[in-house]
Structure 1
Amino acid sequence: MLPSTIVAGSHLPTRVRNELDWPLPIARGARQMRAKRVQEWLTIAGFSLNIDSDFGAATEQRVKDFQSNRGLPATGQVDARTHEQLVDPLVKAIAPINAGNRTLADLILSYAVQHVAQHPVEAGGDNCGPWVRAYMGQDGPDWRWCSGFVCFALEQAARTLGVRQPIPSSASCDTMSANARNAGLYHREGTVRPSQILPGSFFLVRRTNNDWTHIGVVSDAGADTMRTVEGNTDSGGSDNGFEASERVRNYAKKDFIIW
Structure 2
Amino acid sequence: MVQLLVAGSYTPTRIRSELTFPGAIATGATGLKVKRVQEWLTLHDCALAIDSDFGPVTELQVRSFQAQVGIAVTGAVDNTTWDHLVEPLVKAVAPIAPGATLSSTINAVAAQHVAQHPREAGGDNRGPWVRAYLGWDGTPARWCAGFTCTAMEQAAAIHGVAPAIASSASCDTLADRAKAANRFVAGGGANTPPAKTIPPGSFFLVRATATDWTHVGIVAGAGPAAFQTLEGNTNDEGSPDGYEACARARNYRNKDFIVW
Query: Does 2:74 correspond to 1:75?
Result: yes
Superposed CA deviations along residues 143-198 of structure 1, whole A, max 9, x for unmatched, are: 00000001000001111111111100000000000000000000111296377010
Structure 2: distance between partners of 1:64 and 1:147: 36
**Structure 2: gaps of 5 or more residues:** none
**Structure 1 position 30, deviation (Å):** 1.4
**Structure 1 position 74, deviation (Å):** 1.1
Structure 2: distance between partners of 1:161 and 1:11: 12
SS in 1 for 2:29: coil
**Percent of paired sites with the same residue:** 54
Superposed CA deviations along residues 38-65 of structure 1, whole A, max 9, x for unmatched, are: 0000000000000001111110110001
Quick one: which amino acid aligns to residue 83 of structure 1?
W
Quick one: which amino acid aligns to residue 217 of structure 1?
I
SS in 2 for 1:196: coil
Aligned to 1:123: 121
Answer yes or no: is the 8 Å Cα contact 1:225–1:251 preserved in 2.
Answer: yes
**Structure 1: gaps of 5 or more residues:** none
Structure 1: distance between partners of 2:8 and 2:252: 42
Answer yes or no: is the 8 Å Cα contact 1:194–1:222 preserved in 2.
Answer: no
Quick one: which amino acid aligns to residue 133 of structure 2?
Y
Q: Identify the match of residue 109 of structure 1 among 85, 107, 110.
A: 107
- In the alignment of these two chains, the number of paired residues is 257
**Structure 1 position 81, deviation (Å):** 1.2
Q: How does 1:145-184 map to 2 (within 5 A)?
A: 145-184=143-182
Answer yes or no: is the 8 Å Cα contact 1:194–1:223 preserved in 2.
Answer: no
Quick one: which amino acid aligns to residue 117 of structure 1?
A
SS in 2 for 1:212: strand
Structure 1 moving runs of 4+ over 6 Å: none
Q: How does 1:1-259 map to 2 (within 5 A)?
A: 2-7=1-6, 10=9, 12-99=11-98, 102-190=100-188, 193=194, 196-259=197-260
Quick one: which amino acid aligns to residue 146 of structure 2?
G
What is the root-mean-square deviation of aligned Cα atoms in Å? 1.4
Q: Structure 2 length normalisation: TM-score?
A: 0.96
**Structure 1 position 8, deviation (Å):** 5.5
Question: Judging changes above 3 Å, is the alpha-carbon distance between structure 1 residues 113 and 11 closer, same or farther for their aligned structure 2 residues?
Answer: closer
Structure 2: distance between partners of 1:194 and 1:130: 39
Answer yes or no: is the 8 Å Cα contact 2:188–2:253 preserved in 1.
Answer: no
